[in-house]
Amino acid sequence: MIFYSEDKGHYSHMARIVLAEKDISCEIREISNDEKLPEEIATINPYNTLPVLVDREVTIYQPRIILEYLDERFPHPPLLPIYPNEKAECRLLIHRIERDWLPLLDQMMSPKISQKEFDSLKKTLVSLISGIVLILKEKPFFMSDEFTLVDCYMSAILYRLPYLGVSIPNSKSFSSLKSYQEKLFARSSFELSLTDSERDLKYTFN
């Protein structure tokens, strides 16, 4: 199994968290966001993008499908609920993250974005963050008693907040978010998932 990974891309990071959670033996070929993609990527992915997972005769190049494939291929520990209704709810949460959160990160982390656009997107991101504070008071993880694929998504997103200039207020009303962050980043899988470039993002609690 080979995983072609961006050195600090949030989509690649999510998959690396899953690989670490499940202790999957995998060759990770790290590619800098600043360098041109190797020619071999275009031959295995028609969109010529990262991340890409190659597992013998299977090649997968859509982030969510990579995560779900790894969860099904290596079922322990499970990162999606067993029961269909709970699994559907988890997938809907992922869908909302993909629709509402990830496009913001994609644009904010683009080197071509203007300051005006960045500031506007930052306000939207802060609004989304404020909206999950009450939700995080209800369960140990994101609307779940167990760590799921949703938390893999949120780990990669929340880790990048300081890099994007977004600070979590030191107030009681945001304590559930602080606690959630600490829980995610304290996991051994999260520490193992980080590349050197991601460590340089210098995450600090504000």
Numbered ranges of CATH 3.40.30.10 in the chain: 2-73
For residue range 68-86, what is the model confidence (pLDDT) as tens digits? 999 999 999 999 999 999 9
Torsion of the alpha carbons at 124, 127, 132 and 133, rounded to the nearest 10: 150
pLDDT above 80 (res 34): no
Q: What are phi and psi of 24, to 5 degrees?
A: -85, 130
**pLDDT of res. 13:** 97
Contact 51, 19 (CB under 8 A): no
- The CATH superfamily assigned to 2-73 is Glutaredoxin (3.40.30.10)
Q: Which helix (H) or strand (E) holds 12?
A: helix 10-21
- Is residue 105 very low, low, confident or very high in pLDDT (cuts 50, 70, 90)? very high
Q: For the domain bounded by 84-187, which CATH number is listed?
A: 1.20.1050.10
Alpha-carbon span 124 to 128, nearest angstrom:
6
Torsion of the alpha carbons at 184, 188, 189 and 192, rounded to the nearest 10: 120
